[in-house]
């Protein structure tokens, strides 16, 4: 019997644009932003990524992008076009090359660090993981580090890893990345983190 599509039945929690996958390390949140969940709003890759690059600002994807998060970067597969290092151009290309029935937009992973020693060290460790384990899957990764205490929030420092959900080739976006862009992706990512950053998974 085919497994039911839980994303068609469960709406995203308030304030989120994806349904988090349950289980796994407490410090890891994982899910896939879909074009539409049930009768919810139609979403774009650009809106999803810009929301994390400019937290709390309500920035418009049609205006020049001016990231305001604590740190950010775009990490690319070795054969990706240079222009994709610009997050707006990366998202515009994803949407321009999307087919009518596409469901997967952005694979979202958030790594939380409740008591980091040095923020720059945490950032470089996550960047290295993203490049060595995610870009090598031919995924582009937009990374955004947030420091919520700067806005009076008690949420811990964290890094969003946002991956347009198709392989990025020299000619643009190619094949989908299932099963990574599915519920199974959380366990796949947790296993990769356990090898690369064992302290993160065991904490």
- Full residue range of the structural domain in which residue 145 is found: 32-202
Whether 26 is in a domain gets the answer no
Whether 25 is in a domain gets the answer no
Looking up residue 147, the CATH number of its domain turns out to be 3.30.930.30
Number of domains the chain is built from: 1
Whether 150 is in a domain gets the answer yes
Taking 60 as the threshold, does the pLDDT of residue 9 lie above it? Answer: no
Q: Which residue has the tokens 């740190």?
A: 71
For 153-165, b/e burial (b = at least 16 CB within 10 A) is: eeeebbbbbbbbb
Averaged pLDDT, 6-17: 60
| Mean pLDDT over the full length of the chain | 90
Whether 45 is in a domain gets the answer yes
For residue 153, the model assigns a pLDDT of: 87
pLDDT per residue as tens digits for the range 71-130: 999 999 999 999 999 999 999 999 999 999 999 999 999 999 998 889 999 999 999 999
Whether 3 is in a domain gets the answer no
Taking 90 as the threshold, does the pLDDT of residue 4 lie above it? Answer: no
Taking 50 as the threshold, does the pLDDT of residue 1 lie above it? Answer: no
Whether 189 is in a domain gets the answer yes
Q: Cα Rg for the chain, rounded, in angstroms?
A: 16
Mapped to the 3 state alphabet, what secondary structure does the chain carry? CCCCCHHHHCCCCCCCCCCCCCCCCCCEEEEEEECCCCCCCCCCHHHHHHHHHCCCCCCCCCCCCCCCCCEEEEECCCCCCHHHHCHHHHHHHHHHCCCCCCCEEEEEEEEECCCCCCHHHHHHHHHHHHHHHHHHHCCCEEEEEECHHHHCCCCCCEEEEEEECEEEECCEEEEECCCCCCCHHHHHHHHHHHHHCHHHHHC
Enter the pTM of the model: 0.91
Whether 113 is in a domain gets the answer yes
For residue 3, the model assigns a pLDDT of: 37
Whether 19 is in a domain gets the answer no
């Amino acid at each position: 019997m085919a497994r039911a599509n839980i994303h068609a039945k469960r709406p995203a929690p308030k304030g989120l644009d994806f349904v988090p996958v349950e289980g796994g390390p407490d410090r890891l949140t994982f899910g896939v932003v879909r074009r539409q969940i049930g009768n919810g709003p139609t979403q774009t890759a650009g809106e999803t990524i810009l929301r994390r690059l400019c937290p709390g600002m309500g920035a418009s994807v049609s205006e020049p992008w001016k990231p305001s998060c604590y740190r950010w970067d775009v990490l690319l597969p070795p054969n990706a076009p240079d222009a994709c290092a610009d997050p707006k151009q990366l998202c515009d290309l994803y949407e321009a090359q999307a087919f009518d029935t596409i469901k997967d937009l952005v694979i979202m992973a958030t790594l939380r660090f409740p008591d980091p020693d040095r923020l720059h060290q945490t950032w470089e460790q996550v960047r290295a993981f993203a490049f060595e384990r995610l870009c090598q899957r031919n995924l582009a990764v937009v990374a955004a580090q947030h420091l919520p205490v700067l806005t009076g929030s008690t949420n811990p420092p964290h890094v969003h890893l946002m991956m347009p959900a198709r392989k990025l080739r020299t000619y643009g976006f190619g094949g989908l990345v299932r099963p990574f862009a599915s519920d199974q992706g959380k366990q796949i990512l947790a296993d990769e983190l356990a090898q690369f950053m064992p302290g993160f998974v065991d904490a």
